[in-house]
Structure 1
Amino acid sequence: MTSVVDTYELSPMQAGMLFHGLSGGDAGAYIEQVVATLREPLDEAQFIRAWQRVAERHPVLRSRFRWEGVAQPMQDVIERVQIPVERLDWRTLAEAERQQRFQALLDRERTRGFELDQAPLMRLVLVRAAECEHWVLWTTHHGFLDGRSRFLLWQEVFAFYEAFLRGRDTELPLPRPYRDYIEWLRQLDDDSAKGYWQGVLSGYRAPTPLVVARDREAENVKGDSCGTHEVRLSAVLTSALRKRAREASVTLNMLLQGAWALLLHRYCGESDIVFGVTRACRSFLEGAGDMVGLFINTLPIRVRIDPESELVSWLRQLRAQQVALRDYEHTPLVRVQGWSELPRGMPLFESILVFDSHTLDAQLRALGGAWSERRFLGLGHTNYPLTVVAYGDRELLLQIEYSRKRFDDAVVARMLGHLQTLLEGMAARPEAKLKDLPLLTEAERRQLVELWNRTSVAYPPARCVHELVEEQAHIRPEALAAEGGGRRVTYRELDERAEALAGQLRTQGVQSNSLVAVYLERSIEMLVAILGVWKAGGAYVPIDPEYPAERIRFMLEDTQAVVTLTRKHLAAALPASDAAVLHVDASQGSVDGRSGRRLERRPMSPQQLAYVIYTSGSTGHPKGVPIEHASLFNLICWHQQAYDVKPDDRATQIAGPAFDGSVWEVWPYLTAGASVHIPDASTRLDAGLMVRWLAERQITLSFLPTPLAEAVLRENWPETAALRVLLTGGDKLNQRPAHKLPFRLVNHYGPTENSVVSTCAEVTAEGARNAAPPIGRPLPNTRAYVLDRHLQPVPIGVPGELLLGGAQLSSGYWNRAELTAEKFIADPFRPEPGARLYKTGDLVRWLPEGDIEFLGRIDHQVKIRGLRIEPGEIEACITRHAAVREAVVIAREDIPGDKRLVAYLVTENPPAELVDQLRALIRAAMPEYMVPAAFVLLDAFPLTPNGKLDRKALPEPEAGACSTRGCEAPVGEIEAALAQIWCDVLKLERVGRHDQFFDLGGNSLMAMQVVSRVRQRLVTELPLRELFAAPTVARLAARIEVLRAQPGSAPAFDALTWLASSGQSPGVTGNREQTEL
């Protein structure tokens, strides 16, 4: 029979770890292991005897948790325990097999965990690896021991062991018991701590995001969910860092804190950084240095970063901020979180930094003698997504422990490299400003800036586009040039009609770089008009007849167009302007080209303007983007080579006339002798009709705006289809094709400011699973950089703004000098004078293989309750679900002050539980605040005339849109009682039977209150883990019925009342526990 000799309360840290265990968390969390390699004869009997003697000396080694039948969880000290020992003999095994078996043993012992109410919470495995080599695996629960305690215990074990070998006993000084520390904690001033922490965290309302992207790995983690990377800094660098710390009057620990804060700042872009640090907490209680138990505490450190600050002075400020922390380092983290301004259920931080002056191995080997031949390796992991561990030996050892469910191995390896580079910069440049400290290694910077931008290709000397079309008219005059609207035109006819139009334009005053408005729909006349403008020496300005009159009037006035080209049936809708109006209808004799006369050729330069296309502007007025012939020539040369354009190719013209994609649809083909085919309006909007039309016309290359392309990919393609390349772009491509296509699919990206297309990537069904297709790599003679706000390259996987430069770049905005200076900047990476970059405003990231992934617009980033959110990241996660074809996430504020995320979905055969599944999918990858409040299912997304998503037309969510079932009333007495309990705890008026507890704002404290009230009202002992496993009223009621039906299910007093009432429970993020180490 177990004899309990002492019982006392838990420390706050112990309470948090107990909560984690009771709530069904990862069994391997808070399991600590030490592997001792002993290359000496080992008397196993005496060794085990030594461990037993040590356990007799220290109550914590004979302690257990007790939570049943007590008013509050306690720790019991058992009079005697028998340490579990397993012995293994592997002397006959090959070295490789020994290593393999030992790794399996480590994993087994860690995942096995402990029964928290059974002492001792430790066990041993003795492996005889060779005649004189033993491996000792000591596995413990972190709830009773910290790192200092393990160091003390190993010394005691070998002191007794060596005495026993000599046939003697030994007496060691007996330290103070752990209960003294618990008693001391009870005397702390809570009010003073509250004031301090509220001051520290004032205004802090959002946790520092861990925005590092996953690589292209499968979503579901196989095997071990935790990973570790480490790097050992040289003695020279470590010494330099210590020197730098002394100069700044800070500890090496504080310097490392500064480096980690800078890394988080560079990764997420925030200047107010908070992460956790672990404090030893042994300095206040007399004799605490020799006590065995759990003393550490993890608390938030808030670091404000001014990129213009000088390093040493900033480190001194960091020290000044932490001077008062020592007086409050024992404050329970859950109370700190409760005193903060963060919304309930949200963690204060997701990464922690742990500093230890020495590794366990270094501490023990420093004892000398036989210790110098022994090796000790400490293993363990926390419940945080990211833990940085630093050991301040002669050569600083840095480790990052991480959750593989949140981070890929390669991502963390790069992160560790960036931390090392920051430290190297801090050591070498104490006078540097924070913004100038390097983050990337030289090799990585060279890769991002130079190697991935080696795009130089020697094309023929640039020429004007219409000259290339004229050559085709001379080579193949009777070949089909274009077809649409029931009419066809040959190259000769197209050239002659354009020539005649050019003559009329000249008489109207059109000359070099004159602007001519083209007010036409998609048609052969549009092609004639553009060619005619170019032949006359001018540049065209496309104006969509569907535009509002006010927008058309602004464009005509802004460009001071000399002439407006249109057709008779459109002319009446033209707003009045100073521009002359010419009709280009095919029946108009003056422009039909039958005279055969050719204008006197004026010398033209490829640097002349080809067109000015207007794009939307943030001021309410569109902005004009002028593009030269030379820029368009580069685009044409690339396109013709990349897609092997031949005269027998048949291409499409589908984009609206004012969309710059129409430029790309036409001129790479008419300059190569191919033909362009124009479908009617109804066909271009219907995926089924489009597929049939493409097959009937034997189209070989076609550009379709992204939404239309995604739709046609789901259609059945006739075997008669001749399509060999489907090009898409204009919006984010969300998914890869589900099966192999009979043609190539290529995704394109590019702003109007860089001549239509800037990057491209081929998309296959065999691409990375669950990953949105990238936008690829820069085109020949173009450059692409992903930079932070200080124009520094960001690491692979980290979001930044895309900047573009090269041969296709516009000179700026028409009549907008101030905006041009803001958006078109000097290229800091090119030596040639005048090199510029365009700031796209698009948020992207480099992928490891060198492709660029589009994330969204920077101006689409939103803040809700102070939380910065990138909707594109959520969209990418949602589209991993097989039933979701397309997804858009926006922030809506339909009720003033009530801003929330809304996800819009286009689905295919969605399951009834789709919304619940999507919420779970999002929660598995990102914080709770990024879970949309509502999900709206649509048949199709609204589109603009150019085929892009029309965000303004997305409907307001209806009541109950957050659930596919709405708010369904509880069924039965148990559900009704549970719903009332939830309403009481969550302060809500009503709760539906399918509403998710954590979606409604529940957290760990509230979860334990629910468990307590279930025991009182329903007379049922409900384990806390059941609420996490069944977080809806209906599912939890079903579990209660099962529990009641089990034999011996008599109600017991709720053990978690104390945790719930005293506030000593850790926070919970959504339906995932966030236990505070």
Structure 2
Amino acid sequence: MSVDMADQNQVGPANNVAESYPLSPMQKGMLFHSLSAPHSGVDIEQVICTLSEKLDVAALRQAWERVVERHAVLRTGFHWGDLQPRQEVHRHVRLQFEHKDWRRLPEREQQSRLDAYLQADRRRGFELSVPPLMRVALFHVGEVKHILVWNFHHLLLDARAMGALLNEVFNFYQAFLERRDMELPPSRPYRDYIQWLQKRDGSAAEMFWRQQLKGFTSPTPLTLSRRPDPAPDQHTGHGVQQVTLSHAETSRLRAVAKANALTVNTLLQGAWAVLLSRYSGDEDVSFGVVRACRRSSVEGADAILGLFINTLPLRVRVPAEMSVLEWLKELRAQNLAMRDHEHTPLVEIQRWSEVPPGQRLFESLFDFQDPSWEAALRAQGGCWNKREFDIRHQPSFPLWVDVYAGPEMILKIGYDRDCFDDASMVRMLGHFRTVLEGLAADLSRRLSDVPLLTDAERQQLLVGWNNTQADYPQDKCVHELFEAQVERTPNAVALVYGKEEVSYRELDNQANRVACHLRSLTIGPDVPVGICMERSAEMIVGLLGILKAGGAYVPLDPAYPKERIQFMLEDSRAPVLLTQEPLQNRFRFEEHGYRVVCLEALRHAKRDTQRESPPRPKGSPDNLAYVIYTSGSTGTPKGVELSHRGLVNLLVWHQRTYCVTPKDRATQLAGFSFDASVWELWPYLTAGASIHIVDDETRASAPALVQWLNARRITLSFVPTPVAEQTLMLPWPEGAPLRAMLTGGDKLHRRPNENIPFVLVNHYGPTENTVVATSAPVGPGNHGASVAPPIGRPIANVKTYVLDRLLRPVPVGVPGELYIGGDSLARGYRNNPALTTERFVPHPFGGKTGARLYKTGDLVRWLPDGNLEFLGRMDHQVKIRGYRIEPGEIESRLNQHPTVRESLVLVREDGRGQKQLVAYLILKQQPAPANHELSDFLRAKLPDYMVPSAFLFPDAWPLTPNGKVDRNALPAPDLSTRQPSQTFAAPRNQVEETVARIWSEVLGHACVGIHDNFFELGGHSLVAAQAVSRLKEAFKIQLSIRSLFEKPTVAGLAHEVERTMNRHNPERATAITRVAREAYRANHPSPRPRVELAKHH
């Protein structure tokens, strides 16, 4: 048969098809991927041969010609119009052979053109129904140097066939040069292998693979930071990183394998399994392996050109305590057991597995070639020693490993650049090599002791990025630093609240009176004192007075339910409670046996009976400064004990970092039961700055807050993350006095605009580490390696470690749990030694005797620049609006409801991207309780921010295949629409109409009925403040936020509004009602829209 060498392919008449037969399972998979992404370059193989020899181009072209003539597989195309795809062997094909002379081009230009050719040729792909699915190009680049590019589709050939075919091409070439005939026996057709496959019985294979994958429900994740999905025209291609082991290193690996009845392949597979286990944090991992499938195939398979390989899942368990040798022997046995079933189609294995449809069995592919076809060719000597080969291929996986075994082993990692960056892959390849060397170095060691990091990496992670040592007063308490500041600036303004101003001397005097009185009540070091007060200057007097007495303050938010406040007082064992008269009248603390001190009484007491000088110093920096209660997973809050030492370290770092001076004007926004209030007070009161207390309505409204900050000429302000993100979207005047906005308490998603006139600084820190652990300035558009702004680096004298479950440091880019050490750690949990021992663990990396690390439960990763990226909670703990919440505590309370059998609380996002709690309840009996009933039940026991926005009632829990509750399968409520408490009821009067309209506007709901609950509609404390502020403006009355918490329905709050108006001015109330009616009619010209909306509910 003659082969026409025209530069185009064409299909002859119908009788040009010599035969047709089915595809192998591997071919079917490749055909699917090629058809689904025709220009992606997937499964296009490129062999680049550098030939340092004189060439006869005509003879080389004739050699390729003869090889195509001899092998039916090279004349095969694919047809997929029928139910089952077929491969068709053509009698005549036209091979594209391109020859270009680049000898006059500079070397750099030659390389540039070659790279461009390779990229374009890969993108070009093949018309799969038109053979031959291969092209050859020859580039003359030097007098005796050529580059041969052989481009073909992987559907045709595997690596073993690739080497055999090249060998045959150059044997024919040599024969044509010597003008001699080279007679070879007819090649055996690939069809014989397909027929052999079709006769196989797959029943035993099904049993084998079901057993192999039993209990395996999801592929091992590639946990490195992935890039966002690119636009269709922004594909960044694929990358390859490689390292070559020396001859000595390669020989050592072979010797270790041989001496222990292992294979080198087993060693390398083991290294990859360990790496995946360390990267993912899972002991049970899976990856794909390429099997040659010739040895267990049809007789004479080695002589057949074609695609014999199969890709199979290799599931490997990596138990930490097992010895390396014992484990590798098990892995070797597992590979041998697969041989009888290695021809099983991957699609069938997927169907038999417990991995859900639509998910891969594995995300990475491992291919070991020993000997590599290149090494086999070189072994022939002669001209083969002058020929260099580079193979470029692109499987349909985001990550793959190729190992080419030879005298010097080559390790390659290929990857999709749309998923992974080059630097991450360079590190991964280094870790692969480190693990491989670690396995071979000591087969008796435990798997947990196999190193992953290089010594340099370990030094950087443990020491370099934790070089945070800084001086601070280690012999002082916070109140002593305040007293020193009073001596320096006695007349400076310390506190501003509304029109009230308090100087440093006045604040000191008032706090001294409180301290002396507390001393008389036996308050001293490490004695907790409860303080339940509204945010005010008086509250700060109380806090300072407790510290001066030597005690530790325990903040109790008056908005908390009485039951929760009582628990905190009992758990802290506080003998004394500071409060205000209205709160004492509300809670009746004395009735429960507490010693109550009302600050009003102390303030009005005669001066001659109260000392204004400070009491004699008592205590040390290691004594407690405060105890803050946070949500607990067992259903009860837990008290975190913090010392003066950690607080002094925080305030000194803050003062140095933000250059705090007596000229600064700072804010106090946070609720004082939230630990951010600690940070808002003491760095400024020990530096002579003034603190301006923000009223509730202003702090809940981003526009109002921006205006307030500018009007008060604030220079430094902490703003909780959700509000901070809103302020970043607002216009700021040029020359705004604010120097820095400090944020924290939740994950920051936004970056500032270019024209923001201040520095935005993101902070992270658990209560257990004295408010702040890490910090990072956030620049506009400075995305770096992560989409969200990072949480930064550790602050002064704080150390951060990203560790796996065995307390081993994880590499840069790999998720792990954040552990915190250093001088700011809490003492532990109040009256809870078991939890303290569980969460505060011995320091595994040295340090002072008794040094500890706090186990945060937060999932983070190091970025290449040494910043930390926050990823989420390792358990199901969440943060909403800055409050840390254990859903388990809410679930524990819900389970106490008489109709509830089981409950589950999750976080969902509403249409505005705001986090909301959603409760799922399995009931003991029907009917289901109304949403407002469940909300009221919880509000009697929990703070508002812990009450879910929606309640759903599934009949049973959806389960994963291994019997766990499938949280992802629970239905998500539509939080962007109204969740009615009852059947919709329209407002009945103008006051209800005005209340409903304001709720509708602040909550973003089109229609609000009089029985709808504010909090069930997605309201929370910040939105409540906005609603109350607008109600006060609409009705010209004084109305507290507490009113909304106590009367959370439109009807209830409207009644409270009317009652307030009638109580203060009945005649004016009538006029206001008339104004409200007119305002409503101005916004609603016709009642029809409201009536129509009502019909839809």
TM-score of Structure 1 vs Structure 2, range by shorter chain: 0.7 to 0.9
Aligned 8 A contact 2:399 2:413 in 1: yes
Q: d(CA) in 2 for partners of 1:736 and 1:470?
A: 39
2:819 partner amino acid: L
The yes-or-no answer on 1:725 pairing with 2:740 is yes
Q: Cα distance, 1:775 vs. partner?
A: 0.5
The correspondence for 1:801, drawn from 817, 832, 838, is 817
Relative to 1, partners in 2 of residues 1:8 and 1:414: Cα closer, same or farther, differing over 3 Å?
same
Relative to 1, partners in 2 of residues 1:48 and 1:600: Cα closer, same or farther, differing over 3 Å?
closer
Question: What is the match of residue 1038 of structure 1?
Answer: none
Q: What are the superposed Cα offsets for residues 152-202 of structure 1, whole Å, 9 maximum, x if unpaired?
A: 111111111111111111112333211110110111002222121112112
Q: Cα distance, 1:758 vs. partner?
A: 0.6
Q: Cα distance, 1:245 vs. partner?
A: 2.5
Question: What is the match of residue 266 of structure 2?
Answer: 254
Superposed, which structure 2 residues align to 1:550-699 within 5 Å? 550-574=563-587, 575=589, 576-585=591-600, 588-590=603-605, 597-699=612-714
Q: d(CA) in 2 for partners of 1:800 and 1:305?
A: 18
Question: What is the match of residue 502 of structure 1?
Answer: 515
The yes-or-no answer on 1:85 pairing with 2:153 is no
2:307 partner amino acid: L
Q: Cα distance, 1:596 vs. partner?
A: 5.9
Q: d(CA) in 1 for partners of 2:781 and 2:130?
A: 51
Q: What are the superposed Cα offsets for residues 314-345 of structure 1, whole Å, 9 maximum, x if unpaired?
A: 11112222332111111111111111122222
**Larger CA Rg, structure 1 vs 2:** 2
Q: d(CA) in 2 for partners of 1:218 and 1:371?
A: 43
Question: What is the match of residue 85 of structure 2?
Answer: 73
Q: Cα distance, 1:352 vs. partner?
A: 1.0
Q: Cα distance, 1:747 vs. partner?
A: 0.5
Q: d(CA) in 2 for partners of 1:850 and 1:626?
A: 30
The correspondence for 1:36, drawn from 34, 49, 63, is 49
Q: What are the superposed Cα offsets for residues 213-254 of structure 1, whole Å, 9 maximum, x if unpaired?
A: 137998888454211111112333323322332344321112
Question: What is the match of residue 713 of structure 1?
Answer: 728
Question: What is the match of residue 930 of structure 1?
Answer: none
The yes-or-no answer on 1:454 pairing with 2:514 is no
The correspondence for 2:305, drawn from 285, 292, 311, is 292
1:432 partner amino acid: R
The correspondence for 1:117, drawn from 129, 133, 140, is 129
The yes-or-no answer on 1:372 pairing with 2:385 is yes
Secondary structure of the 1:5 match is strand
Q: What are the superposed Cα offsets for residues 834-857 of structure 1, whole Å, 9 maximum, x if unpaired?
A: 111100111111001100011111
Relative to 1, partners in 2 of residues 1:592 and 1:306: Cα closer, same or farther, differing over 3 Å?
farther
Relative to 1, partners in 2 of residues 1:381 and 1:216: Cα closer, same or farther, differing over 3 Å?
closer
Q: d(CA) in 1 for partners of 2:543 and 2:119?
A: 70
Question: What is the match of residue 412 of structure 1?
Answer: 425
Aligned 8 A contact 2:227 2:419 in 1: no
Question: What is the match of residue 765 of structure 1?
Answer: 780
The yes-or-no answer on 1:270 pairing with 2:282 is yes
Secondary structure of the 2:828 match is coil
Aligned 8 A contact 1:747 1:760 in 2: yes
The correspondence for 2:873, drawn from 852, 857, 862, is 857
Question: What is the match of residue 1050 of structure 2?
Answer: none
Q: d(CA) in 1 for partners of 2:837 and 2:64?
A: 74
Q: What are the superposed Cα offsets for residues 761-804 of structure 1, whole Å, 9 maximum, x if unpaired?
A: 00111311771011000001110000000000011111111100
Aligned 8 A contact 1:753 1:838 in 2: yes
Aligned 8 A contact 1:265 1:271 in 2: yes
- Larger mean CA deviation between 691-700 and 17-26 belongs to 17-26
1:245 partner amino acid: A
Relative to 1, partners in 2 of residues 1:601 and 1:78: Cα closer, same or farther, differing over 3 Å?
same
Aligned 8 A contact 2:549 2:618 in 1: no
Q: d(CA) in 1 for partners of 2:250 and 2:877?
A: 40
Structure with greater contact order relative to length (CA < 8 Å, sep ≥ 6)? 1
Relative to 1, partners in 2 of residues 1:80 and 1:123: Cα closer, same or farther, differing over 3 Å?
same
Aligned 8 A contact 2:39 2:124 in 1: no
Relative to 1, partners in 2 of residues 1:363 and 1:696: Cα closer, same or farther, differing over 3 Å?
same
Q: d(CA) in 2 for partners of 1:904 and 1:91?
A: 69
Aligned 8 A contact 1:37 1:134 in 2: yes
Secondary structure of the 1:588 match is helix
Q: Cα distance, 1:892 vs. partner?
A: 6.7
The correspondence for 2:526, drawn from 506, 513, 518, is 513
Q: d(CA) in 2 for partners of 1:134 and 1:890?
A: 68
Q: What are the superposed Cα offsets for residues 713-746 of structure 1, whole Å, 9 maximum, x if unpaired?
A: 1122234631111001111111212333101110
Q: Cα distance, 1:516 vs. partner?
A: 0.7
2:692 partner amino acid: H
1:105 partner amino acid: Y
Aligned 8 A contact 1:777 1:851 in 2: yes
Question: What is the match of residue 189 of structure 2?
Answer: 177
Question: What is the match of residue 833 of structure 2?
Answer: 817
Q: What are the superposed Cα offsets for residues 419-441 of structure 1, whole Å, 9 maximum, x if unpaired?
A: 11111111112111111111111
Question: What is the match of residue 191 of structure 1?
Answer: 203
Relative to 1, partners in 2 of residues 1:461 and 1:905: Cα closer, same or farther, differing over 3 Å?
farther
Relative to 1, partners in 2 of residues 1:593 and 1:297: Cα closer, same or farther, differing over 3 Å?
farther
- Larger mean CA deviation between 287-296 and 890-899 belongs to 890-899
Q: d(CA) in 2 for partners of 1:861 and 1:599?
A: 43
Aligned 8 A contact 2:857 2:874 in 1: yes
Question: What is the match of residue 804 of structure 2?
Answer: 788
1:568 partner amino acid: E
Secondary structure of the 2:512 match is helix
The yes-or-no answer on 1:439 pairing with 2:461 is no
Q: d(CA) in 1 for partners of 2:854 and 2:231?
A: 35
Q: d(CA) in 2 for partners of 1:905 and 1:713?
A: 28
Question: What is the match of residue 1037 of structure 1?
Answer: none
Secondary structure of the 2:732 match is coil
Q: Cα distance, 1:860 vs. partner?
A: 2.5
Q: Cα distance, 1:573 vs. partner?
A: 3.2
Q: Cα distance, 1:695 vs. partner?
A: 1.1
Question: How many corresponding residue pairs?
Answer: 903
Q: Cα distance, 1:512 vs. partner?
A: 2.1
Question: What is the match of residue 912 of structure 1?
Answer: none
Which segments of 5 or more consecutive residues in structure 2 lack a partner in the other structure? 1-11, 879-886, 888-907, 922-951, 959-966, 977-1002, 1007-1016, 1026-1097
Relative to 1, partners in 2 of residues 1:723 and 1:197: Cα closer, same or farther, differing over 3 Å?
same
Q: d(CA) in 1 for partners of 2:770 and 2:787?
A: 28
Q: d(CA) in 2 for partners of 1:521 and 1:449?
A: 44
Q: What are the superposed Cα offsets for residues 592-624 of structure 1, whole Å, 9 maximum, x if unpaired?
A: 799664254134322221111111111111111
Relative to 1, partners in 2 of residues 1:338 and 1:494: Cα closer, same or farther, differing over 3 Å?
same
Q: d(CA) in 2 for partners of 1:9 and 1:813?
A: 69
Give the alignment's Cα RMSD to 1 decimal: 2.7
Question: What is the match of residue 968 of structure 2?
Answer: 900
Q: What are the superposed Cα offsets for residues 51-105 of structure 1, whole Å, 9 maximum, x if unpaired?
A: 111111110011111233x553211111122211111110100011001111111
Superposed, which structure 2 residues align to 1:193-212 within 5 Å? 193-212=205-224
Question: What is the match of residue 1019 of structure 1?
Answer: none
Q: d(CA) in 2 for partners of 1:720 and 1:692?
A: 13
Q: d(CA) in 1 for partners of 2:711 and 2:609?
A: 32
Secondary structure of the 1:502 match is helix
Q: What are the superposed Cα offsets for residues 560-588 of structure 1, whole Å, 9 maximum, x if unpaired?
A: 11210000011123344443100112883
Q: What are the superposed Cα offsets for residues 321-378 of structure 1, whole Å, 9 maximum, x if unpaired?
A: 2332111111111111111122222211111100001333322111111111111221
Superposed, which structure 2 residues align to 1:731-750 within 5 Å? 731-750=746-765
Question: What is the match of residue 1034 of structure 1?
Answer: none
Question: What is the match of residue 21 of structure 1?
Answer: 34
Secondary structure of the 2:223 match is coil
Aligned 8 A contact 1:241 1:426 in 2: no
Superposed, which structure 2 residues align to 1:834-983 within 5 Å? 834-860=850-876, 894=952, 895=954, 896-898=956-958, 899-900=967-968, 943=1020
**Identity value in percent:** 50
